Structure 1
Amino acid sequence: MNTPPIKKIVLWLVTIFLLYAILTSPSDAADMVGTAWEILANGVENIGRFFDSLISR
């Protein structure tokens, strides 16, 4: 029996949800993207600090 490609289905569901979120409340969607960007930037910065402190020992 053929199973549907789960990755493709999940990608479509995420895309549809993002479009729905943007169209229904654009300011909230922008806040979510800004928050996600801050989390990513903070994580990358912390990884950089970790390796800097590891190298400086």
Structure 2
Amino acid sequence: MDRLAGLRKGPKQGINGEAGAVVQAKKIALYVIVVFVLYTIITSPARAADLVQVGFEGVSSAAQGVGDFMSELVK
């Protein structure tokens, strides 16, 4: 009967609560990343702007490559 009670808790908790712990760990990791990004922006805004620019250039380059690939497929 106890096993059925554990199954009724739902998909996020499971029998031993492992899935709930994973969700909690993901939340903590997200908070740590957000705090790190804010700290980086506050302490070195010029470096943070450079990193964002490099990121956008990378995305733009990747999009250009995909566009070139699709153009060659059509030919």
TM-score, normalised to structure 2, is 0.67
- % identical aligned pairs: 34
Q: Which moved more, 1:2-11 or 1:12-21?
A: 2-11
Q: Deviations over 1:4-36 (max 9, x none)?
A: 413322221211111000000000000000000
SS in 2 for 1:21: helix
Aligned CA RMSD, in angstroms, stands at 1.3
TM-score, normalised to structure 1, is 0.85
Query: Paired residue for 1:26?
Result: 45
Unaligned runs of 5+ in 1: none
Q: Choose between structure 1 and 2 for higher RCO, CA contacts under 8 A separated by at least 6 residues.
A: 1
How many positions carry a matched residue from both structures?
Answer: 56
Query: Paired residue for 1:48?
Result: 67
- The structure with the largest alpha-carbon Rg is 2
Unaligned runs of 5+ in 2: 1-15
